[in-house]
Chains A and B, each alone.
Chain A
Amino acid sequence: MLKVRNIEAGYGKLRVLKKISMHISPGEIVSIIGANGAGKTTLLQTIAGIIQPRGGEIAFADTAIGGMKAHKIVEAGCSLVPEGRQVFGPMTVQENLILGAYSLKKKGLADQQTQELEHVYELFPRLLERKDQLAGTLSGGEQQMLAIGRALMARPKLIMLDEPSMGLAPLIVKDIFSIIVKLREEGNTILLVEQNARAALNISDRGYVIETGQIMLEESADELLNNNDVQRAYLGKDYKSIGDMKGEE
């Protein structure tokens, strides 16, 4: 569904992404894990069209989208749930959601908007309860749900989530991740960027490890969870000494 080849991207003189190649097939959940500053957000933003790539190709459902405007990419079926939620605080929950369906309206599919709204409220009953509440007054977890719901309103083929667990309590993180699994069960394809590598890999099919703008490793989620380097770097295995064989979890 999404094929990325040799993407170069950055900010000003700073080169962030250096020849990134990856792909995601329909129905997969793929995670990109890496440390702060590795380039994960830059990658999603480049795919979403918020940043223009400086080199390489991006193909989404056989259409070349590298260099396309962001709203066109949403119309093509690729939605981003941005880092930090970024809900529109002064607007209500419902207003936020309806805004998410903007591209549907443009395509003349306004009635689908009502259907999708129902679907989102089914997935997130909490949002239905608070539908007339101002988005800025929601809790972190609720805002994350709203951001995901807003992305769903455009009826995307590919949902990209940038650090959905950030700043959320562990129990809420659990909820959010079960929702992501549910979304896949409903037939969605999901690209997940996460610092919480364990939570991400636990629900993913495959993963890419990105370090300083380069893909270092690409394996199935199970293999990554079993890879000692990944365990040491991202899964919190702490070796106390050179002879320490087991490490602390």
Chain B
Amino acid sequence: MYNEKIETMPREELEQLQVEKLQSTLNRVYRNVEFYKKNFDAHSVNIENISSLNDLKELPFTTKEDLRGAYPYGMFAVPLRDIVRIHSSTGRTGKPIATGYTRNDLKNWSEMVARLMAAAGLSDNDFIQIAFDYSMFTGAFGIHYGAEKLGASVIPSSSSKKIQEQILIMKDYKTTVLVSSPGYASAIASNLKEMDIHPDELNLKFGIFGAAPWNEKIRSTIEEQLHINAYNTYGINTLVGPGAAGECEEKCGLHVNEDHFIVEVIDPESGESLPHGEEGELVFTTITREGFPLIRYRTGDLSSIIEGKCSCGRTFLRIQHVGARTDDMIVVKGISFFPIQIEDILKKAQDTKPRFRIVVDNVDGNDTLDVQVEVSDSLFADEVKKLVELKAFISNTILSELGISAKVTLVEPETLRTEGKNAKVFIDNR
């Protein structure tokens, strides 16, 4: 354990700490962040009435839309000159969101991540290869500073290389721990076969994967193909990045760093707080963040809080593996998008709103995307050449706008309609 004193803190002590820090955070944001002052006033919330963790539910939520509305620096709680790092979301699904970190925030961030890495077994004897995009995305830098804090040898290989290069680095530089998205790990596994390298020829001990929803099935595939243990790490770009929660070696839930975040689960429709064990939307409140505090941030991720204590001895609550979302956001090969974006592309192609279906699967460890589009009667009867052009147009546009290479299947008109009103637009076979 990286920080035994904190990670095994008795729940009573933790609760006192959380209440204190929640109260001081609320005082600070009310004073320093216009959004929260307005929001609390609009909901007639008097922060002086927040006396316990139970009172959290009196506070209004903060959504991604709220953050977008404060673009770029409206949610920052400290003067800009106190911010020493800016990270940002990509803005592919809407306006980008910029987050800011003070010196203390960065220190806390690396401590959080170091804890989670240590829980998965990382030590200063390891060579850790970080195959995340080193950019304004928080994943790469977050893991980097956390691993460095532990004294591990960090190999910032980034995700921009060709997979074969990535694998050669793993082999030659004797990487013992791989960090990437689960999709990327699967891609590495299949490329190993192609390069005729047996996983045992590598020095890999285990891998820590995150930045995309995945499940036990994908975990077993990665573990089988790479001959390693695969651990889950959970983070949210706007909340901090990696470091929010992670698995210990018991692999039965992800411990939340509760001295930095208060985690709740709510019913996504009604907004009501749900008890432990029930599935709902994860909501996080930061209690140590100086630069960019978040009060009851709705993540859109579905999970539940696991009852009971973990046998590893940590007293921090665990959450279930996040495999699904509350909105219709789809994540394929680490890239997130919404069905409406596909619809817009299809509109461009045929000048009408055709019926379509998105089918996502995982073949041999690789995420696949198949867009099935109904073609208008007249077009279907037309030249094959036109159909081929249409397919090419659609898949090229998807590639250029979303960054994913998709298979496009043109189907006869009415094929998708016959399944009735409740026909699913999105099927996930993973």
Q: Which residues of A contact B (CB under 8 A)?
A: 3, 5-6, 18-19, 21-23, 25, 208, 214-219, 223, 226-229, 245
Q: Are A228 and B82 in contact (CB under 8 A)?
A: yes
Partner of B16, one of A5, A216, A223, A227: A5
Kindly list chain A residues whose C-beta atoms are within 8 Å of the C-beta of B19: 5, 21
Other 20 A-B pairs with CB < 8 A, given A223-B104, A223-B107: A5-B19, A5-B51, A19-B50, A19-B51, A21-B19, A25-B13, A214-B24, A215-B24, A215-B27, A216-B24, A216-B28, A218-B20, A219-B288, A226-B103, A226-B104, A227-B102, A227-B104, A227-B290, A229-B82, A245-B81
Q: Are A21 and B290 in contact (CB under 8 A)?
A: no
Whole-angstrom distance from the CB of B137 to the nearest CB of chain A?
26
Q: Are B51 and A218 in contact (CB under 8 A)?
A: no
The prevalent SS among residues of B at the interface is: helix
Closest to A219 in B: B104
Kindly list chain B residues whose C-beta atoms are within 8 Å of the C-beta of A22: 20
Whole-angstrom distance from the CB of A91 to the nearest CB of chain B?
40
User: From residue 286 to 320 of chain B, which have CB atoms closer than 8 A to chain A?
Assistant: 288, 290
Q: Are B24 and A217 in contact (CB under 8 A)?
A: yes
Kindly list chain A residues whose C-beta atoms are within 8 Å of the C-beta of B290: 227
Alpha-carbon distance A217/B77, docked complex (angstroms)? 12
- The reply to whether the CB of B21 lies closer than 8 angstroms to some CB of chain A is yes
User: From residue 75 to 113 of chain B, which have CB atoms closer than 8 A to chain A?
Assistant: 78-79, 81-82, 102-104, 107
Q: Are A215 and B103 in contact (CB under 8 A)?
A: no
Alpha-carbon distance A214/B29, docked complex (angstroms)? 13
For B17, B24, B27, B288, which residue has the most chain A Cβ atoms within 10 angstroms? B24
Kindly list chain A residues whose C-beta atoms are within 8 Å of the C-beta of B16: 3, 5, 21, 23
User: From residue 218 to 239 of chain B, which have CB atoms closer than 8 A to chain A?
Assistant: none
Q: Are B23 and A21 in contact (CB under 8 A)?
A: yes
Closest to B24 in A: A215
Alpha-carbon distance A19/B107, docked complex (angstroms)? 29
Kindly list chain A residues whose C-beta atoms are within 8 Å of the C-beta of B107: 223
- The reply to whether the CB of B389 lies closer than 8 angstroms to some CB of chain A is no
- Chain B 130-169 per-residue mask, 1 if CB under 8 angstroms from chain A, else 0: 0000000000000000000000000000000000000000
Q: Which residues of B contact A (CB under 8 A)?
A: 13, 16-17, 19-21, 23-24, 27-28, 31, 48, 50-51, 78-79, 81-82, 102-104, 107, 288, 290
Kindly list chain B residues whose C-beta atoms are within 8 Å of the C-beta of A226: 103-104
Alpha-carbon distance A228/B79, docked complex (angstroms)? 9
Alpha-carbon distance A229/B27, docked complex (angstroms)? 14
Closest to A59 in B: B16
Closest to B83 in A: A228
Whole-angstrom distance from the CB of A127 to the nearest CB of chain B?
37
Q: Are A216 and B27 in contact (CB under 8 A)?
A: yes
Q: Are B20 and A215 in contact (CB under 8 A)?
A: yes
Kindly list chain B residues whose C-beta atoms are within 8 Å of the C-beta of A245: 81
Partner of B102, one of A3, A5, A228: A228
Kindly list chain B residues whose C-beta atoms are within 8 Å of the C-beta of A228: 78-79, 81-82, 102
Kindly list chain B residues whose C-beta atoms are within 8 Å of the C-beta of A215: 20, 23-24, 27
Q: Are A229 and B78 in contact (CB under 8 A)?
A: yes
Q: Are A214 and B104 in contact (CB under 8 A)?
A: no
Alpha-carbon distance A125/B221, docked complex (angstroms)? 73
Q: Are A214 and B27 in contact (CB under 8 A)?
A: yes
Alpha-carbon distance A215/B81, docked complex (angstroms)? 24
Partner of B21, one of A25, A214, A218: A218
Alpha-carbon distance A23/B15, docked complex (angstroms)? 11
Closest to B51 in A: A6
Whole-angstrom distance from the CB of B56 to the nearest CB of chain A?
14
Closest to A15 in B: B48
Alpha-carbon distance A223/B103, docked complex (angstroms)? 9
Kindly list chain A residues whose C-beta atoms are within 8 Å of the C-beta of B82: 228-229
Alpha-carbon distance A245/B81, docked complex (angstroms)? 8
Whole-angstrom distance from the CB of A10 to the nearest CB of chain B?
13
8 A-B pairs with CB atoms under 8 Å apart are A5-B51, A6-B51, A21-B23, A23-B16, A23-B17, A214-B27, A216-B24, A216-B31
Alpha-carbon distance A217/B79, docked complex (angstroms)? 16
Alpha-carbon distance A226/B102, docked complex (angstroms)? 10
Kindly list chain B residues whose C-beta atoms are within 8 Å of the C-beta of A19: 23, 48, 50-51
Whole-angstrom distance from the CB of B17 to the nearest CB of chain A?
8
Kindly list chain A residues whose C-beta atoms are within 8 Å of the C-beta of B288: 219
Kindly list chain B residues whose C-beta atoms are within 8 Å of the C-beta of A216: 24, 27-28, 31
For A25, A208, A214, A227, which residue has the most chain B Cβ atoms within 10 angstroms? A214
Whole-angstrom distance from the CB of B246 to the nearest CB of chain A?
23
Whole-angstrom distance from the CB of B411 to the nearest CB of chain A?
60
Kindly list chain A residues whose C-beta atoms are within 8 Å of the C-beta of B27: 214-216
Alpha-carbon distance A216/B28, docked complex (angstroms)? 6
Whole-angstrom distance from the CB of B84 to the nearest CB of chain A?
10
Q: Are A18 and B20 in contact (CB under 8 A)?
A: no
